[in-house]
Structure 1
Amino acid sequence: MTTPLFDKRHVRRAFSRSAASYDAAARLQHEVEANLLESLDYLDDPKLERPKPQVVLDLGAGPGRASAAMRKRWPKARVVAVDLALPMLREAGKRSGWFRPFDRVNADVRALPFADGSVDVLFSNLCLQWIEDLPAVFAGFRRVLKPNGLLLVSTFGPETLQELRDAFTHADATPHVSPFATIAQFGDALVHAGFRNPVLDRDLYTTTYPDLPTLMREQRAIGATNALRTRRHTLTGRARFAAAAQAYDAFRTSDGMLPASWEIITAMAWAPEPGAPIREGGFEVTSVPVASIPVRRRPR
């Protein structure tokens, strides 16, 4: 049996601790979420003549901003916020008012407790980077989606925090930044699970900080700490942190700020009809050439 790449208990603890501070610190996450929510306009196009969604899942819902937005968009739909961290769902409850309430379920996205073919829209913003087995989790998404149901997700790509990753190589040999799937791997996992007509995009964001401690504090405030099983289980010593900070200074821009890069991969795809094959004949049905996918650099 293969040892999991990520420590799920650490992920749950980190996001549980950050539940109260997440909303105020998650500026990038909110921006990506807003762009992802705009993609739902496609479903409301009258030319498509699609019925309004009846059941919507928000996976990795955190404090429930997207859940509340989708409940407002589709007031007759049942919207369910799903999160691994129970304190996050308690925060989400503050947005689930009596007028437009949404349900909250404490569950792992790798084992969704929902009936087969019961969901119209599956939405997930910046949650899947903590999943090492993408084909398996996408198979679970396909299981709960109705035929022709919509999957709309975002995740981090491998260029994320490349400056931080490089800086810590000057401190020690232990990885301090999680590895992230490439857009090709992400697209192939969708195809492997049988999703139809996948559309993938890449965006590159840059946030800036006066120093390395400020960046690290923001990451702790949103629960985005190193969740690798092979991570160092003791505090980073002063000498190692100083070495990383000195190395990071090489990236300082002309305005004196330290940049942090974030590669965002978004994907929209449709669940197939029942009985559709997961893989045709055991070979690649399609491939996603990275060079053909333009990178949009988001102004900040």
Structure 2
Amino acid sequence: MQGPPVIFSPRRRLNARARMAAMRRTGNAVSTVARELAADAVDRLGFLNRTFDRALVIGDVTGTFADHLLAAGGEVVRADPSPELGLAVAEDAPIEGGPFNLIVSLGLLDTVNDLPGALALMRRALAPDALMIASFLAAGCLPTLRKAMLSADADRPAPRVHPQVDVRAAGQLMTRVGYASPVVDGWSFDVKFDDLDQLVGDLRAQAMGNVLADPGPPLGKAALSRARNAFADEADEDGLVRERFEVVTLSGWSPAPRF
């Protein structure tokens, strides 16, 4: 049986997260996206009249969401694809240590090669009538960076920015892999940057750089100059460039037992 296409490099992905972990240890942490995803997940739990006494939290690099659960008295297992950031969990392998009555994945599923498989593995690690929440970057993300990269490559565009899942396709996946009462919604937030180099540096510091299996050739000096100029052309009256981060959040329940 043929597996899913290899779009992302697992090795490059792990290296990116290891680099992020190293930067966090030296105090050079940028957590803009991680903070937004964690805060949104906390808000979502606030609407539920439910307690979760055993949770698996994957990719919460700020610890915000895990700390919220701990404050409520629950047991929390912190995990990440990189063992430097928590219990090592691979999205293409069964999750051990379950069952859990809550699994939350933050900022990870946009760079897995088998998204349906990753969602199915999380569902199998849930106890009956348990909740899964996954938030990750979605289609339409980073439009200004995409435009700058197209300007850089001119007539021969190279693969530099990740392909991403749109909200409608994500919703179909939830039903396909067996979640009950699935909910899928898209949301966004904006961040302003001084220039292209600051944006790229922040993305790399958050393990959000290029982890494609075919990352394309490096930008030459002339191409990099075109990209910087195209990005700067989008500046507002304050000289800052607003970039958009689109997010899709999936939530669903493992089927409850039938009596």
Structure 2 match to 1:32: 37
Partners of 2:97 and 2:78 lie apart in 1 by 16
* Structure 2 letter corresponding to 1:187: G
Structure 1 match to 2:12: 10
Structure 2 match to 1:78: 75
* Residue 231 (structure 2) pairs with residue 251 (structure 1): no
* Residue 136 (structure 2) pairs with residue 155 (structure 1): yes
Structure 2 match to 1:228: 212
Partners of 1:66 and 1:235 lie apart in 2 by 37
State the identity as a percent.
25
Partners of 2:190 and 2:105 lie apart in 1 by 22
1:113 to 95, 102, 114: 95
Contact 1:154 1:265 in 2 (8 A): yes
* Residue 249 (structure 2) pairs with residue 270 (structure 1): no
2:183 to 199, 208, 213: 199
Partners of 1:87 and 1:128 lie apart in 2 by 19
Structure 1 match to 2:61: 62
Q: CA deviation at 1:115?
A: 5.7
* Residue 21 (structure 2) pairs with residue 19 (structure 1): yes
Q: Which moved more, 1:139-148 or 1:266-275?
A: 266-275
- Structure 1 stretches of 5 or more lacking a match? 90-104, 276-300
The 3-state SS of whatever aligns with 2:29 is helix
Partners of 1:3 and 1:20 lie apart in 2 by 30
Q: CA deviation at 1:63?
A: 4.8
The 3-state SS of whatever aligns with 1:174 is coil
> Normalized against structure 2, the TM-score is what?
0.89
1:127 to 101, 105, 108: 108
Partners of 1:3 and 1:109 lie apart in 2 by 15
* Residue 139 (structure 2) pairs with residue 137 (structure 1): no
Contact 2:79 2:85 in 1 (8 A): no
Q: Which moved more, 1:106-115 or 1:212-221?
A: 106-115
1:87 to 74, 77, 84: 84
Structure 1 match to 2:47: 42
* Structure 2 letter corresponding to 1:239: A
1:217 to 192, 197, 201: 201
Question: What is the RMSD computed on CA atoms of the aligned residues?
Answer: 2.0
The 3-state SS of whatever aligns with 2:47 is helix
- Structure 2 stretches of 5 or more lacking a match? none
Contact 1:19 1:63 in 2 (8 A): no
How many aligned positions are there? 250
Q: CA deviation at 1:70?
A: 1.5
Structure 2 match to 1:237: 220
Q: CA deviation at 1:274?
A: 6.0
Structure 2 match to 1:95: none
Change (3 A) 1:114 1:274: farther
Structure 2 match to 1:285: none
Structure 1 match to 2:165: 181
* Structure 1 letter corresponding to 2:255: P
Contact 1:150 1:269 in 2 (8 A): yes
The 3-state SS of whatever aligns with 1:24 is coil
The 3-state SS of whatever aligns with 2:175 is helix
Residues 163-208 of structure 1, C-alpha deviations (whole Å, 9 max, x = no match): 1011111222112111110001111111101111122222121111
Structure 1 match to 2:148: 167
The 3-state SS of whatever aligns with 2:252 is strand
Q: Which moved more, 1:64-73 or 1:5-14?
A: 64-73
Q: CA deviation at 1:135?
A: 1.4
